[in-house]
Structure 1
Amino acid sequence: MNDREGGPSGLRQRTRRAVQAEIAATAMRLFLEHGFEATTMEQIASEIGISRRSLFRYFGTKEDIVLGDHAENGRTLKAALEARPADEPPWEALRAALKALVESLPYTPEDFLKITGMLHASPSLRGRQLEKRQQWTELLLPDIARRLGATANTMNELRARALVACALACSEAATETWVRSNGTVDMERAFDEAVAAVRA
């Protein structure tokens, strides 16, 4: 086995990622055209030209296809937060990091609105999304705990966890408001309003 990126193992990984990306793009198109609940794994496999069994080697469920990039988005968000100035207050740093994440997404505003609307309309997707968002909290926690400036202890971690959870909840509330308005509400302003309500 060769683990170098250019060796056999690295080539397999790149090939696997390329196939996963093709599956995700095709599935997303079908979801947006026909609806998430109405689209089956069989339809996705047929559209791509692979067997249903082969499809399951890459994604175990439809939810995994839609939310497969959530883990990567979490890492992007973590990197964006850590890139903020060290003396920037936690709320401002989180706001800037969340904005950077949205701007990094490879969707047009129209497609992002459709995808987000689909996430909010499906209970199964919503549940899995919230589960993955919890993983984001753990990724962001160390940086926010450092920004709070207190020594490492249980109460400092509690404050950091509460702050991150509130920021992500404000982001979720702002996004839902944006979806319900069909994209007419400014998402950044909605986030700021949500944060102001929490901090009042």
Structure 2
Amino acid sequence: MQAEITAVAFDLFDRQGFECTTINQIAAEAGLSRSSFFRYFATKEDVVLLGVEERGLVLRDALAGRPADETPWQALRQALNAIIGFNVENPERALRLSRMMVDTPSLQGRQLQRQNSWQRLLAPELARRLAIPPTDTADPRPRALASAALGCYDAALTVWRDCDGTADLAALLDQAMSVLTG
């Protein structure tokens, strides 16, 4: 049911804008009561961000699964392919979501929360790869690496969005990440 509600909501967001669309409208279009809507989503923002937290877990697991002989930076780059896959599989939805995130101030704050959440998820594996003892929580390097890689991903995604998804997102990410190592 979440997928159906999300599809209805995105259609309304496209027509009316995120801010002008109400939960009551989404529920009515989906054939639900307002209270039924809240069984599936806590907020209107959650409709847009469905799957974002799971993607962070996918990214963390992809990083943990990378070969031990890769540098942390190389492992991050390859792990990000898992996230690129979500965009490439459904570029129309990814572009709609990306545009909505840029155009909607209330979603921009959630984007920052996502960035921080993903940094926290990635930091332990990066610390392990950097041979930082688990007890050393004051070392900023794991968070710095995660932040830099996610910043590169966001930069690549911005360019991809601005060219309507016609560019190769993986190649854009390669360009963005290589500038920090070259």
Q: Tell me the TM-score normalised to structure 2 length.
A: 0.87
State the 4+ residue runs in structure 1 displaced beyond 6 angstroms. none
CA distance in 2, matches of 1:118, 1:107: 19
CA distance in 2, matches of 1:159, 1:131: 20
Q: What's the offset of the Cα at 1:138?
A: 0.9
Paired residues, number: 181
Q: What's the offset of the Cα at 1:87?
A: 1.9
For 1:69, the equivalent position in structure 2 comes to 51
**Unaligned regions of 5+ residues in structure 2, if any?**
none
**Unaligned regions of 5+ residues in structure 1, if any?**
1-18
CA distance in 2, matches of 1:178, 1:106: 11
Q: What's the offset of the Cα at 1:33?
A: 4.3
For 2:145, the equivalent position in structure 1 comes to 163
- Relative to structure 1, the CA distance from residue 106 to residue 55 in structure 2 (aligned partners, 3 Å threshold; closer, same or farther) is farther
Larger radius of gyration: 1
Where 2:21 maps in the other structure, the secondary structure is coil
- Relative to structure 1, the CA distance from residue 110 to residue 21 in structure 2 (aligned partners, 3 Å threshold; closer, same or farther) is closer
Q: What's the offset of the Cα at 1:105?
A: 5.5
Q: What's the offset of the Cα at 1:146?
A: 1.1
CA distance in 2, matches of 1:159, 1:118: 32
97-106 or 67-76, which deviates more: 97-106
Q: What's the offset of the Cα at 1:78?
A: 1.1
For 1:35, the equivalent position in structure 2 comes to 17
- Contact 1:87 1:147 survives alignment (8 Å): no
- Contact 1:77 1:101 survives alignment (8 Å): yes
Q: Tell me the TM-score normalised to structure 1 length.
A: 0.80
Where 1:81 maps in the other structure, the secondary structure is helix
For 2:92, the equivalent position in structure 1 comes to 110
Root mean square deviation, CA, Å: 2.1
- Relative to structure 1, the CA distance from residue 121 to residue 187 in structure 2 (aligned partners, 3 Å threshold; closer, same or farther) is same
Tell me the amino acid that sits aligned with residue 192 of structure 1: D
